[in-house]
Amino acid sequence: MTILITGGSGLVGNAIKNLNYNMEMIFIKSKDYDLTNLNQTKCMFEKYKPLYVIHLAANVGGLYKNMNNKVRILEDNLLINFNVVKCCHDYNVKKLVAYLSTCIYPNDIDYPINENQLHLGPPHFSNEGYSYAKRMLEIHTRKYREEFNDNFICIIPTNIYGEYDNFNLKDSHVIPGLIHKCYLADKNNTDFTIYGDGSPLRQFVYSKDIAELTMKILFNDNIKDNIIISPDEEISIKEVAEKICKIFNFKNKIKFDTTYHNGQHKKTVSNKYLRQHYPDYKFTNLENGLDLTINWFKENYNLIRN
């Protein structure tokens, strides 16, 4: 039994690898195959003939990367997702679990968001390219379920953070960007400047939790539809920054640069469907997850994606 994981060198891929399952897992990196190319994607499937696929690969980044690279992000993700899903069907994959994101939901929507609200309106303008490409991934997998009864589903995670994240100050997501900025502010004895006013609310999930739940869902025959993965708690960017400062023992000021856009104010999701299947699953406490991530960041600073 072979499990192929695209995007295998990223945040979630490494978290799955570190679970040390006694299974044949193939972790595909971007330098191994160009998944925007259908022939290379076919070569990958020909070589490994996977029975299961976890599709994590994407051209992805934080708010400002999405706003500044709209066409590239749209086109890359459309091609990657089309090629992987088509090959999963053509090569008779038993189950495909593909990753979406809560950031692709409509901007104007009733909260909390559930799995059925994805296409009820346009996404926030700041990440249209990424959002519409990911929405097409959901449609593509659903049509294969409907027409061919393929076991293709999508996982919809909230904001993931953890070891092996992208800590690039320009292109990172919220938590890795805040960690890197606070580290440099502490090192250089300067103030810690955060883009926006710190008011947006988010639900954060530690990468190990995502990895464990992904593997549970992969082998759960009772889950045949899309599923949101999220803890219950919602927290502001300002509060997250304060927790990070506490771990760094940062003594200078936190400043908010309101010339930068906040992005979407909130994306509150419901984990009701997840809790139907895993009512007792305990998510990692945010403070503990941040502590583990920051310790890893400091120990691997010369090696991180920054």
Domain coordinates of the chain in residue numbers? 2-163+203-233+269-284
Which tens digits make up the pLDDT trace of 214-269? 999 999 999 999 999 999 999 999 999 999 999 999 999 999 999 987 877 888 99
pLDDT at 288: 98
CA distances from 72 to 29, 31, 67, 78 (A): 19, 18, 11, 10
**pLDDT of 67 strictly over 90:** no
Category of 271 on φ-ψ map: left (φ > 0), alpha (ψ -120 to 50) or beta: alpha
pLDDT at 264: 79
**pLDDT of 61 strictly over 80:** no
Which of 96-105, 184-193, 257-266, 278-287 shows the lowest mean pLDDT across its residues?
257-266
Q: What whole-number percentage of the chain has pLDDT above 70?
A: 97
Which one-letter DSSP state was computed for residue 102?
G
Beta-strand relationship, 2-6 and 52-55: parallel
CA angle, corner 260, sides to 124 and 12, nearest 5? 60
Contact 274, 230 (CB under 8 A): yes
pLDDT at 66: 63
pLDDT at 306: 59
Which tens digits make up the pLDDT trace of 119-157? 999 998 888 999 999 999 999 999 999 999 999 999 999
CA distances from 26 to 2, 17, 47, 212 (A): 7, 10, 11, 17
Distance between CA 87 and CA 6 in Å, rounded?
A: 13
* Nearest alpha-carbon partner for 162 in 280, 19, 295: 295
What does pLDDT average to over the chain?
Answer: 93
CA distances from 100 to 156, 172, 252 (A): 5, 17, 37
CATH 3.40.50.720 fits 2-163+203-233+269-284, yes or no: yes
**pLDDT of 62 strictly over 70:** no
Category of 263 on φ-ψ map: left (φ > 0), alpha (ψ -120 to 50) or beta: left
CA dihedral 144, 150, 151, 152 (to 10 degrees): -30
Residues marked active site are found at 130
Distance between CA 150 and CA 215 in Å, rounded?
A: 19
Please give the structure tokens belonging to residue 268: 């509150």
